[in-house]
Amino acid sequence: MTSHLTRAREIVSTLTVDEKVRLLSGADQWNTEAVPARSIPATSVSDGPHGLRHQAPDEDHVGLDSSDPATCFPTASALGATWDPALISEVGAALAREARSLDIDVILGPGLNIKRHPAGGRSFEYLSEDPILAGRMAAAMVNGIQSQGIGACLKHFAANSQERDRLRSDSVVDERTLREIYLTGFEIAVKESRPWTVMCSYNKVNGTHASQHRRLLTGILRDEWGFEGLVMSDWYAVADRAKGVAAGLDLEMPGSSGMYDHEVKAALASGALDQADLDTAAARVIALALRAAAEREAHADDAPADPDAHHALARRAAAAGSVLLSNDGALPLAPETDVALIGAFAETPRFQGAGSSQVNPTRLDTALGALEERLGGRLTYAPGYDAATGETTDALVAQARRAAADADTAVLMLGLPGSYEAEGYDRDHLRLPHGHTRLLEEVIDANPNTVVVLCGGAPMELPWAHHARAILLAYLGGQAGGSAVADMLLGDVEPGGRLAESFPVLAAELPSHDNFATHPTQALYREGLYVGYRFHDTWDVPARFPFGHGLGYTTFALDAPRVSGRGTSRTVSVEVTNSGDRAGTTVVQVYAHDKASTLHRPVQELAGWAKVALEAGASTTVKIAVDERALAVYDVESASFVVEPGEFELRVGLSSTDIRGTVTVRVSGGATPAEVPAPAGPVADDAEFAALLGYPVPSPAPTLPFNRETTLRELKLSALGLGTHAVIRRMAGKQMGLADESDAVGVAMLEAMPLRALAMASDGMVSPARLDAFIRVLNTSTGKARRARRSQREG
């Protein structure tokens, strides 16, 4: 990179201001600007995190238009559940080989936002609720991608935890929580994999858009963590490009047809933007293009991607990321079992989520097809419900009951219909559709020997869990997920996943719940550090299925752990034995518990893990490094991570609640963090939250008067806006490829777009000046109407 940057700087010195400014905004949806006269090539980028969505340059960015066929791997929640850096790295390398075949230089992934609340619409696209797990898995994926000479893009930086009003919602989060929970994963991934690019998120962080957040984009990302690559915006995330460039945003994506060029030049002229910042950003855009071009040349003779091999890898990854939540011995199915396969997902699989990550798969396996092939006449099938809506009917239930009653075992495929989880909106509850739960009761009544296979990208409430003989969480298993389900049910492979996120009993128990996606312009992170198992374990509110949990088809015994090393650099060793009668894998997890902290602190936090594969009866000693950071807290006063002196318990187990042994280490020296008032419960009240923030809880930005952040939906708040809403929606919809008004994802995304983003997507039709004039008219007419109403009342 450094040599490309040096050459890029030389090129920058030969460019005009206009040329430099143009370079800082994409040429179209998927390419950067090329300047052939100066030998600057374009760089092409494409989604996404679990499969490529390669589209023509002018097509949309939200999965509405068609894309070239590509392998659809399991989505990130399943990949995270593998806890297997080597496997996710393989997936990354496969994605990169496909990118090479499609002439793509940079893959827009992985996504590693922390799952603050399971209802987040993109939970399926994210790896974990834990920053160490998310960070290390993301790093492994980036390393896999970049091993093939293709760039990766860590996204979405940062504190981007909900879909509601995502382009302007302000994530209000205290510094320690930001550092320990929301930034740590990015920090690990940046340091361990040196990604070519990072994508800033849509939202604001503590009052400032991430796209113009100098402390995040420059102070933390570059100065503290040493990031040397390029920062691009999320699509239409730029609110003020001049401020963005000054803050360290190099590239606006996609291009906004020069909409902001004038503002950037004006900022240069007024001195609000330094020439040096412009030059640096331009140099980074050029360096990326030079690097991509050099890699294209170096890999020109690479063998083309092999779709069969990638399909096989997707199948392996799907099983490795599936989690056996419960099993009383019903799985794997005994040979010669007559099976009633029930549930339309068997035929119309849920295998990915909607939005920008949507892939056009090279082929699609179904559980029905795979099981039919294997079981022949021993299989009957009943759809049980409508795959799209999840609704059932008396006739479908009666058919399912008959099938279940006539079989030895009923395999019931349930979960979240496609409309439940998508980019652009969040779920408003975690329940299964009513049709699914009704079917479940009826089928279990008809045949108690019922095994449930759950499809969906995120935690669900499962109040009926104890009624099923086994629950296999297949997540969104990608295009080979159907075959993988058959492989696992029949015992050819075991489900190798362990939960990378907790399954709560009730969403309402979560401390983030009351402040999750509840306000149009603000999200108060009052729960602070208490996300996922950090909440459940600290405040004794058990999850239904805890973080790290998963059964597999064999059992493992752990001997007493031992520890070596000194101070804050330790290695935990533990002898693991496969105590069952078949080969299998497990994930040995180490959690650190600070025995006496001066700060409020989660009772334990993941410090490391090892994925182990053992033949039946075999043993091995696993060694898990516990580094300084795993023991540290963020001390706001000294702005650094510090390890408190004293004793730490290192807890070794097979989930956050299944601890098999502990060792105690003592750290002397260290540093004592400044004392911070501790909230009395897991949800900080106003005074406690203000104390954590260090300033009064900010008031949310008002939605009126109308402004550039006003969303399309909010136009309806005024009579004039209401009149223009339909016209703008039609035009913008056309621009974004929204052919069908019943497309819930497309409509949700459009309605949540701020006016400035709509202007950016208008192909140059709406300049900032025209936009501001429109907003002035909206406000005047609303003001007039209000005054008229008032004088009518008073008169």
Residue 235 touching ligand BGC (CB under 6 A): yes
- Distance, in Å, from the CA atom of 545 to the CA atom of 500, rounded to the nearest integer, reads 11
CA distances from 42 to 22, 64, 163, 260, 549 (A): 12, 25, 31, 20, 46
Residue 164 touching ligand BGC (CB under 6 A): no
Residue 108 touching ligand BGC (CB under 6 A): yes
Least distance to ligand BGC from the beta carbon of 201, Å? Answer: 8
Three-class DSSP category at 603: coil
Residue 155 touching ligand BGC (CB under 6 A): yes
Question: Among 47, 187, 461, 709, which residue sits at the site for ligand BGC (rule: CB under 6 A)?
Answer: 47
Least distance to ligand BGC from the beta carbon of 90, Å? Answer: 22
Cα-based torsion angle of the residue sequence 771, 777, 780, 786 in order, rounded to the nearest 10 degrees? -100
Burial annotation 404-437 (CB, 10 A radius, 16+ → b, else e): beebebbbbbbbbbbebbbbbbbbeebbbbebbb
Please identify, using beta-carbon distances, which residue of 48 and 746 lies nearer to ligand BGC.
48
CB atoms under 10 Å from CB of 359, counted, come to 26
Count of residues that bind ligand BGC according to CB under 6 A: 9
CA-closest candidate to residue 80, choices 262, 322, 310, 311: 322
Please identify, using beta-carbon distances, which residue of 353 and 383 lies nearer to ligand BGC.
353
Tell me, what amino acid is at 404?
A
Tell me, what amino acid is at 628?
E
Least distance to ligand BGC from the beta carbon of 736, Å? Answer: 11
Least distance to ligand BGC from the beta carbon of 463, Å? Answer: 33
Please identify, using beta-carbon distances, which residue of 109 and 321 lies nearer to ligand BGC.
109
458: phi then psi, degrees, rounded to nearest 5: -155, 165
Residue 426 touching ligand BGC (CB under 6 A): no
Least distance to ligand BGC from the beta carbon of 52, Å? Answer: 11
Residue 461 touching ligand BGC (CB under 6 A): no
Active site residues: 234
Please identify, using beta-carbon distances, which residue of 87 and 108 lies nearer to ligand BGC.
108
Residue 479 touching ligand BGC (CB under 6 A): no
Residue 167 touching ligand BGC (CB under 6 A): no
Residue 234 touching ligand BGC (CB under 6 A): yes
Residue 258: Cβ-neighbour burial (10 angstroms; 0-12, 13-18, 19+)? middle
Q: Mark out the alpha helices in 108-159 (DSSP H runs).
A: 131-146
Please identify, using beta-carbon distances, which residue of 46 and 578 lies nearer to ligand BGC.
46
Extract the runs of DSSP E, i.e. beta strands, from 474-561.
522-524, 556-558
Residue 124 touching ligand BGC (CB under 6 A): no
Question: Among 356, 447, 479, 718, which residue sits at the site for ligand BGC (rule: CB under 6 A)?
Answer: 356
Report residue 579 as tokens.
């105590």
Residue 143 touching ligand BGC (CB under 6 A): no
Residue 594 touching ligand BGC (CB under 6 A): no
Residues 448/40, Cβ–Cβ less than 8 Å: no
Residue 165 touching ligand BGC (CB under 6 A): no
Question: Among 50, 61, 117, 756, which residue sits at the site for ligand BGC (rule: CB under 6 A)?
Answer: 61
Please identify, using beta-carbon distances, which residue of 62 and 507 lies nearer to ligand BGC.
62
Least distance to ligand BGC from the beta carbon of 70, Å? Answer: 14
Q: Is the dihedral of CA 221, 547, 79, 354 positive or negative?
A: negative
Please identify, using beta-carbon distances, which residue of 62 and 452 lies nearer to ligand BGC.
62
CA distances from 753 to 27, 213, 709, 757 (A): 21, 20, 8, 6
- Distance, in Å, from the CA atom of 393 to the CA atom of 410, rounded to the nearest integer, reads 19
Among positions 62-91, residues that touch ligand BGC (CB under 6 A) are 62
Binding site for ligand BGC (CB under 6 A): 47-48, 61-62, 108, 155, 234-235, 356
